[in-house]
Amino acid sequence: MTTSRRPAIIKLGSTMPSLSTHRGDFEEWVLAGMAMRREDLIVVDPRRGEALPALDGLSGAVLTGSQATVTEHADWSERTADWLRRAVLRGLPILGICYGHQLLAYALGGEVGNNPQGSEFGTVTAQLKRSARTDWLLGGFGEAIKVQTSHSQSVLKLPPDARVLASSDMDPHLAFVVHENVWGVQFHPEFDVEIVKAYIRAHREELHEEGQDADALIETCEPSPAGPEILHRFTQLIAEPGASA
């Protein structure tokens, strides 16, 4: 790192035991995408009562996904939302992934709830908006990218001052940005094909009840080169001097 400050991963959930036994957990997947070592950053799990990091010592933060839902308003989640409001005011670069994306939107005044289009699982096409063309994370990809998804809730209303960057057939708010350095992405840049297929299988019954074909979703899964690139770009941002306030 080029400054004395370090980034943080705010661990908001854990993956399924069937995956964690041989693939590790969310923070390991994020670390791999960022090409960083665990000792290069701070990992905090507020679900376990761990204190959220002091903002003065941070260069940026990544918020992971979770099996929980924002609308449960768990104490640890509300505490993290309060911390996020302060972090955004301080100008800290933030990347919220899936649950992190939803919690970020909620913390800043948006609305989160069950996706009226249903659950979105598998590899989907993210249509990039004109506003994404010059964005640090999503600029330069063209009009669309393939991304991995696994969610039943979504951001129903963006927070004030947020700009939508990407949408999918099932989610109009697939990615947004606030203040040019605070991003929420409903998709999982840290997922690979094996992981996203495992999530589809785990939610097979739920998908069937919604009239979705899990086997067909599995068949259409494909790699997402944009995922690791997005994590790499965020790493570059938070490694630069003056990235955080």
Give the active site residues: 98, 188, 190
DSSP string, 116-151: TT--EEEEEEEEEPGGGTT-TTTTTS-SEEEEEEEE
Token pair 């290069």 is at which residue? 40
DSSP string, 174-197: SEEEETTTEEEESS-TT--HHHHH
Under a CB-based contact definition with an 8 Å cutoff, are residues 77 and 68 in contact?
yes
What DSSP state is assigned to residue 43? E
Of 113, 184, 123, give the one whose Cα is nearest residue 152.
Answer: 113
Q: What tokens appear for 157 in the block? A: 């209303």
Of 71, 66, 30, 72, give the one whose Cα is nearest residue 155.
Answer: 71
Give me the count of residues in the chain: 245
Q: What tokens appear for 78 in the block? A: 């509300």
Query: What are the C-alpha distances in Å from 116 to residues 126, 152, 170, 210, 218?
Result: 18, 9, 8, 11, 22
